[in-house]
Structure 1
């Protein structure tokens, strides 16, 4: 009988340590798509959680009806769209390999990311609705997205919350302060214009790049500010 190296098998199973990407119901699915492309281009593994409300937003912004049973096909179609929600040749050409993406249904509270013993590098919530922000700040864990975020905080892992709302009311600001105090990175989805954006995709990529910066993931999604020789200008 062939002998199985249990220790070698266990070690190989431990090699996959993904980033959890949570997509909530706020407008801004192009940000999520750009983050997913950036992570996969960097060779990172991804565990994806798409909330129920975000499916409606995704349908509005891209025309894609995201389904649990066909998630890989739907995700591929999503990542092949530009920031305007339409099929895009450039986006399709740079659509990444989805072999190392694992999808968990939002209602599956027994999923891997619901436990602190499940190894992950951290979690990125892109975009984060104010309802999602409140749920995570209050520890409600009403679905897998919120539960995974709570686990990320309690395990002292990196949590980046790309909140997408304007204006912000006082209660949401308090929730964001709570998340900041708990160790999360609060990152408003605020595109910058100094990077020479010429297309709406450039603006989405800038926000995605800042999310990846906060996670410590290398990328080339936007042109970085390097200052100017011979003095500075008012900005």
Structure 2
């Protein structure tokens, strides 16, 4: 029997004179493969916070892009100023806030934040701007109609749009959580273009069969559907089980 060190099939072990070793699972040589979360300027920053919390709870790494317009929305909806130089502290405050605006609703740890890498929206040389940068896909939540138009037309006016274009060309998962009503014909055509290009369009439309009793339940339903489209496991909402009236049962 050959010694184990000469076994070319063993991850992390190279055969003398043979090809380079495959990295062992969980080793430092295994590249980080995050989900890119892009936050555009549409109303709905609690949706983004819920999606990011869901990804972190599932142990997923996150690359975060917050557009310039979304900072104004975030300030208006939560009172939080998101700053490049203090993004970690601002993100902690944002993720900890409930959909009802109550601070400290969710516990966010340093370990959670260690899974996040932040890229300024104006940094077109950022890692995710290249197809060679390893990512699992991209979730745009919420997606404004301007963002939808830019991605559908292949524009790259900022990092968010550039990464979306890269995601499509690399045939990776792109989930677009559009948040606007009503939708005009032009936006509907842009959404069809995204669908035909391989994106998954998830309107930010909460359902009520899951027994929502709080605004957070409605937000988490939409966030959960976004994660469903990305095949990320979560427990953000109670799933339909085929029993009528179960959403109104006491205790749900």
Would you say same fold, with TM above 0.5? yes
Q: Matches of 2:70 and 2:110 in 1, distance apart? A: 21
1:13 Cα deviation from its structure 2 partner: 4.2
Which structure has more RCO (C-alpha within 8 Å, separation ≥ 6)?
A: 1
Does the 8 A contact of 1:63 with 1:85 survive in 2? no
CA shift digits 1:23-79 (9 cap, x unpaired): 000000000000000000000000000000000000001100000000000000001
Change beyond 3 A, Cα 1:168–1:94: farther
Q: Is the 1:40–1:96 Cα contact (8 Å) retained in structure 2?
A: no
1:138 aligns with 2:153: yes
The higher radius of gyration belongs to: 2
Gaps of 5+ in 2: 1-13, 15-19, 245-252
Corresponding position of 1:49: 65
Unaligned 5+ runs, structure 1: 230-235
8 Å contact 1:25–1:55 — kept in the other structure? yes
Q: Does the CA contact (< 8 Å) of 2:168 and 2:198 recur in 1? A: yes
| TM-score using structure 2 length | 0.84
| Alignment equivalent of 2:180, drawn from 165, 170, 185 | 165
* Number of residue pairs aligned between Structure 1 and Structure 2: 223
1:20 has 2:18 as partner: no
Q: Whole-Å Cα distance in 2 between the matches of residues 109 and 228 of structure 1?
A: 49
Inter-partner Cα distance in structure 2 for 1:202 and 1:144: 31
Whether the 8 Å CA contact 2:31–2:134 is kept in 1: the answer is no
Q: Secondary structure at the match of 1:12?
A: coil
Distance in 2, Cα, partners of 1:162 & 1:200: 18
2:6 paired residue number: none
Counterpart of 2:102 (choices 65, 80, 86) is 86
SS at 2:213's partner residue? coil
Query: What TM-score, normalized by structure 1, do the two folds share?
Result: 0.90
The 1-side partners of 2:100 and 2:75 are apart by 13
Instruction: Tell me the C-alpha RMSD between the 2 structures.
Output: 1.9
- Cα deviation code 1:121-152 (max 9, x no counterpart): 00000000000000000011100000000000
Match of 2:190 in 1: 175
| CA distance in 2: counterparts of 1:152 and 1:93, whole angstroms | 29
Runs of 4+ deviating beyond 3 Å: 5-9, 92-96
Partner residue, 1:38: 54
